[in-house]
A and B are shown apart, each in its own frame.
Chain A
Amino acid sequence: MAVDLSINLAGIRSPNPFWLASGPPTNEGPMIMRAFEAGWGGAVWKTLGEPIVNVSSRLGSIDYGTRRMLGLNNIELITDRPLAKNFQEIDEVKKRFPDNAVVVSLMVESKREAWHEIVKRTNDSGADGIELNFGCPHGMSERGMGAAMGQVPDYTCMVTEWVKEVAKVPVLVKLTPNVTSILPPARAAVNGGADGLSLINTINSVMGVDLDTWDVYPNVGGQSAHGGYCGPAVKPIALAMVNEIARDWRSGRVPLSGIGGIETWKDAVEFLLLGATGVQVCTAVMHYGYRIVEDLIDGATSYCESKGLARVTDLVGQAAKKVTDWGKLDLNYVIKPRIDYEKCVGCNLCYTACADGAHQAFALDGPPVKVADGTTRPGPRVLDDQCVGCNLCHLVCPVPSCITMTRQETGHRPMTYEEFTASGLPRTALAGYGS
C-alpha cells in the first residue's frame, strides 16, 4: 500500500513531514541541498538577521550510560554569514529543489521597519515560508530578541502583526518553552496573525561542571553562559506543550510544527498523534547526520501501512484528546502488576523499587524463577492489598513483557475527581481508598 507522506502545513507543502529545524544543519545552501538529496522534506534556514560573531566552544552535552548526547545545549547565535549570501543560496536551493519546503527563520531588532525590511527580502527569495524566532534563550535574548519576544505575549503579538503586514508567504511563530505556560504566547502569536506555530525552541540550561577544573560547560575560556537545551531528553516537555496548544481552541486552530528531541520515526509519530502536522529535527542530525531521514521515512511509511492509513496526516491529533485534566481521570480505574514467572530473571529490581520508591507491595516468596542454568530463587510476589497500581515495577523491570499491568474489577462505576467532589460522597466510596 502506498502511503502519502506529504503535508501541507499552513500552506507550506513538503513531500514528507520531516524538516530540518533551524540550526547548524541548515547553516548554508550546500548543506541544505545535501539534506534534500538525503530525503528531508523541508528545512528551516538558520536564523537570518544582522550577522553576529560566535564564541568557541558553543556546545555542551550530557551522556547516559553508553549513550552520548542524551541532551545537548548550545550558545551559538543566529547566522554569522552575510544576508545577501544567505538569500542568494535560498534562491539556488529553491531552484534546484522546488518541491521541498524552504522556510526562513528570522530575527531582527524590535523595530517595525527592521522586520518589514527583512520580510520583504525573504518574500523575494523564493522561500516557501517564514518562521519567527521568538525562542532562542541565549545571547539574542539579552539583546531584546529571541526569547525576549516570546516571553512577553504582547510583543509576540505585535511583531507577528508587523511581519504579517508585508509577508507574502505563510508565517510560523517559533515559541520558547521558557515560560510558565505556553498558552499565552501561543494565543498571542495566533492573535497577531500567525499561520502556524513551531515549538519548542531550546530550554534554558547549564550543562555541567568539569570536576577537575570547575569550569562550566560549555566552556569559553573559563567562563560559561546559560544555553539552549535540546536532544532526546527534552521530548516529553515538547510533547506536553505541543499537545496543550493542540487542545486549546484559541491557539490550536493553526497547524503545529513539532520540535524537541525527535530522533526516530516513533518520536515523529508521537508528535503527530498529539497534534503536530509536521516535525523538525536538529540534534539527531547533529549527532548522526542527514542520513537518519531514510529510516524516518521508511519507519513512518511502514507504520502507516500497519495501521491501514493512506496518508501520514491521518495521524495528526489522533491522540490529542487522550490528554485531559487530572480531575477528569477515573479514580476507580485500578490496575495491578501481574508477573510472568517464566520470563522473570530474578533481578528483584521490582521488589527494591517498590520497597524504597513506592508502597512495599512486593514480597520475595513467590514461585521459583530461573536466574541461571540450574539456579532458581523465589520470585517476587505482588501484595495486591498494598499495591496502588503506580506502574513503577513495570517501568523498572528489564525483561520485556514480564510485568503486565492488568485491569482489576473493582465493582465501582467510573468516577472522576470532578464528579467525586460534586457528589459529596466520602473517600471510602472510591476503589483506591486506603491502599
Chain B
Amino acid sequence: MTFEERFTDLVPALTKADAVAAASACLYCADAPCTKACPTHIDVPAFIRKISTDNLKGAARVILSANVLGGSCARVCPVEELCEGACVQNRLRHEPVRIARLQRYATDAAISHEWKLFEKGPMNGRKVACVGAGPASLSAAFVLAQKGYAVTVYDERELPGGLDTYAMADYKLKIPAAQAEIETLKDLGVTFVMKTTVGRDVPFAELEAKSDAIFLGIGLGGTARLGIPGEGEPGVVDALSFIEKLKTAPYAQSAFSGEVLVIGAGNTAIDAVTQSKRLGAKSATIVYRRGEEDMPCFDYEYELAKKDGCRFEFGARPKRIERSGDRLALVCEREGREVSFLGDRIIRAIGQAKRREMFDTLGIALDDQGRVLVDSASQRTSNPRYFAGGDCVNGGQEAVNAVAAGKRAAAGIDATFALRQVA
C-alpha cells in the first residue's frame, strides 16, 4: 500500500447518489437539536433540504455563512459528540443523518465550482488586526470583512489556518482542502501578513496605533514539556512538529520503520500514534500514565488507533528517558515499580503549553489555568482594546469552538463601534 493510500480520506466524499440518500434521511426537524448542538449553529435541516433540492450553492451558503470553515469542520469535527450525536434519527433508526459528510458534499462543491458566496461590506473606516491565522481569527475576520472592517491577519507561519492547516491528521484534512476555504477570506479583502510574529517583528504598540480593535486568536504554545530527564535526547520529538512535517513534506521524508512510543492519550496523541503506524512504524504504542477509561481522546479516536494496530500501555507514568544502545528507553513507574519501554522514537503529546508572558505584558488577565479571561458574550478581554477567542481562551478545544468564538468576538467588536455611533 502506498503512503497516499494509507493517508487517503478516512471518511470519503459522498457521491451524488449517496448524498441524495443521506439527505432523504433528514426529518427537517423544527428547532433542530443538531443545529443547537453545533457551536456555530449551522442551520443543518436547511442546508440538507437544499442538497435534496439540488440547490448546492444555497446549501454551501447556509453552512459557510454560519461557519466559514465549514469544509474543514465537516472533516475534523467530533460530530458524534455534536450535531450527529444530537440527531433524532439516533433514536429512530440507531443511526444519525450523515450531517458531516453532507456538509462536506456541499462545501466541496463550493470550492470546486469556485462559487463566490459572500461580499465584503462597504468600508466603514474601522480597522481590526487579528493576531494568529487559526480558526478563531479567520472566523472573526470573515464576519468583520462583510461588515466593512479592514481586517489584517498576522501569523508567524507560512500558511494561514493554524492547527487546521498544520495539525489535523492527514487522513482527515489535508492542507489543500484547508487552504481552499481560506480563499473566501482573501476574496473579501482580508489582508494576510504571514511569517510575521506580532510582538517581535511587529510590536503590539504598532498594532494598537493602527487598529481600532485587536483580536487575539493565537492559540496555545508549543507541545508541553514532560519535565523529565532525557527529554532532550535525539529521537524525542513533539507531536505537533512530527505531524506538521508529515503534512508539509512528501510522506517518504517522514517514513520511519522503527518502534514508536507516544506519551499522552489525547486526540493529538492518537493522531501521532496512528500516523506513525501509517508511516511504516514496526510498532506504535501509546504510553499513558492513567487508565483506559481516563483517556481524554474521543472513543472513536481510540477505536481508530486500535484498528490501525496501535498498542496501549496504561498506568505507566514516564520518569526518564535513557539511551539504550542506539535505541531509547522510556522508563516509567507502574504500580510502584519501574518498567521500561524500548523504542526508536518517542513522541511527546501531552498537550500544548500556555503563553502567560505575552498576556501579562498586554495587561490581559488570565484565569488560574493560564486561559485568557473574556466576557462570554463579546469575547472582550480585561484590556478593552483586545478581544480573544479560540484555544488561548478555552484552553484547547475543537476548531468549531474557535470559529464560534471568532463570530462572537466579531459581533462584540462591531457592537462596540455601533454603540459609539449611537452615542
Instruction: Let me know if B30 and A373 touch, CB within 8 A.
Output: no
**Complex: A172 Cα to B89 Cα, angstroms:** 49
Q: What 0/1 pattern do residues 327 to 366 of A give for CB contact below 8 A with B?
A: 0000000000000000001111101100000000000100
Q: List 16 A-B contacts (CB under 8 A).
A: A65-B20, A66-B21, A347-B27, A347-B29, A347-B30, A348-B31, A349-B27, A349-B28, A352-B30, A364-B31, A371-B33, A372-B85, A372-B90, A398-B27, A398-B92, A399-B92
Known contacts A65-B24, A66-B20, A370-B91; decide if A349 and B86 are in contact (CB<8 Å): no
Q: What 0/1 pattern do residues 284 to 319 of B give for CB contact below 8 A with A?
A: 000000000000000000000000000000000000
Partner of A349, one of B30, B33, B90: B30
Within residues 395 to 423 of chain B, which ones have a CB less than 8 A from any CB in chain A? Answer: none
The reply on A377 being an interface residue by CB < 8 A is yes
The reply on B87 being an interface residue by CB < 8 A is yes
**Complex: A377 Cα to B36 Cα, angstroms:** 11
Instruction: Let me know if A347 and B88 touch, CB within 8 A.
Output: yes
B48 CB to nearest chain A CB (Å) = 12
A355 CB to nearest chain B CB (Å) = 9
Instruction: Let me know if A372 and B92 touch, CB within 8 A.
Output: no
**Complex: A30 Cα to B87 Cα, angstroms:** 52
The reply on B179 being an interface residue by CB < 8 A is no
Chain A neighbourhood of B85, CB < 8 A: 372-373
The reply on B52 being an interface residue by CB < 8 A is yes
Instruction: Let me know if A345 and B92 touch, CB within 8 A.
Output: yes
Instruction: Let me know if B29 and A375 touch, CB within 8 A.
Output: no
Within residues 365 to 394 of chain A, which ones have a CB less than 8 A from any CB in chain B? Answer: 370-373, 375, 377
B14 CB to nearest chain A CB (Å) = 13
Chain B neighbourhood of A349, CB < 8 A: 27-30
Additional 11 contacts, C-beta under 8 A, given A370-B91, A372-B87, A372-B88: A65-B24, A66-B20, A345-B91, A346-B29, A349-B29, A372-B90, A373-B85, A375-B33, A375-B86, A398-B27, A398-B92
Chain B neighbourhood of A352, CB < 8 A: 30
Chain A neighbourhood of B92, CB < 8 A: 345, 398-399
Known contacts A345-B88, A371-B91; decide if A377 and B33 are in contact (CB<8 Å): yes
- How many residues does chain B have at the interface if contact means C-beta atoms less than 8 Å apart? 20
Chain A neighbourhood of B32, CB < 8 A: 347
Instruction: Let me know if A372 and B91 touch, CB within 8 A.
Output: yes
Chain A neighbourhood of B87, CB < 8 A: 372
**Complex: A399 Cα to B91 Cα, angstroms:** 10
Chain B neighbourhood of A346, CB < 8 A: 29, 33, 88
Instruction: Let me know if B30 and A351 touch, CB within 8 A.
Output: yes
Instruction: Let me know if A66 and B90 touch, CB within 8 A.
Output: no
B89 nearest CB neighbor, chain A only: A345
Within residues 72 to 112 of chain B, which ones have a CB less than 8 A from any CB in chain A? Answer: 85-92
A269 CB to nearest chain B CB (Å) = 28
A262 CB to nearest chain B CB (Å) = 24
Within residues 250 to 268 of chain B, which ones have a CB less than 8 A from any CB in chain A? Answer: none
B193 CB to nearest chain A CB (Å) = 43
Chain B neighbourhood of A347, CB < 8 A: 27, 29-30, 32, 88
B23 nearest CB neighbor, chain A only: A65
Partner of A372, one of B20, B24, B28, B86: B86
Chain A neighbourhood of B86, CB < 8 A: 371-372, 375
Most buried by A among B24, B30, B33, B85: B30
Instruction: Let me know if B52 and A373 touch, CB within 8 A.
Output: no
**Complex: A377 Cα to B31 Cα, angstroms:** 11
Known contacts A347-B29, A375-B33, A377-B33; decide if A65 and B52 are in contact (CB<8 Å): yes
**Complex: A373 Cα to B94 Cα, angstroms:** 11
A356 nearest CB neighbor, chain B only: B30
B21 nearest CB neighbor, chain A only: A66
A350 nearest CB neighbor, chain B only: B30
A352 nearest CB neighbor, chain B only: B30
**Complex: A311 Cα to B87 Cα, angstroms:** 47
**Closest 9 CB pairs between A and B?**
A345-B88, A348-B30, A65-B24, A352-B30, A347-B29, A345-B91, A371-B33, A347-B27, A372-B86
Within residues 7 to 45 of chain B, which ones have a CB less than 8 A from any CB in chain A? Answer: 20-21, 24, 27-33, 37
Q: What 0/1 pattern do residues 354 to 372 of B give for CB contact below 8 A with A?
A: 0000000000000000000
B27 CB to nearest chain A CB (Å) = 5
Most buried by B among A65, A351, A352, A372: A372
B324 CB to nearest chain A CB (Å) = 46
**Complex: A218 Cα to B112 Cα, angstroms:** 32
Chain A neighbourhood of B91, CB < 8 A: 345, 370-372
Chain B neighbourhood of A370, CB < 8 A: 91
Chain B neighbourhood of A345, CB < 8 A: 88-89, 91-92
Chain B neighbourhood of A399, CB < 8 A: 92
Within residues 38 to 76 of chain A, which ones have a CB less than 8 A from any CB in chain B? Answer: 65-66
**Complex: A42 Cα to B87 Cα, angstroms:** 48
A398 nearest CB neighbor, chain B only: B27
**Complex: A66 Cα to B91 Cα, angstroms:** 22
Instruction: Let me know if A372 and B30 touch, CB within 8 A.
Output: no
**Complex: A326 Cα to B37 Cα, angstroms:** 48
**Complex: A399 Cα to B92 Cα, angstroms:** 7
**Complex: A249 Cα to B41 Cα, angstroms:** 62
**Complex: A348 Cα to B52 Cα, angstroms:** 20
**Complex: A351 Cα to B21 Cα, angstroms:** 26
Instruction: Let me know if A373 and B90 touch, CB within 8 A.
Output: yes
A345 CB to nearest chain B CB (Å) = 4
Instruction: Let me know if B24 and A66 touch, CB within 8 A.
Output: yes
Instruction: Let me know if A372 and B52 touch, CB within 8 A.
Output: no
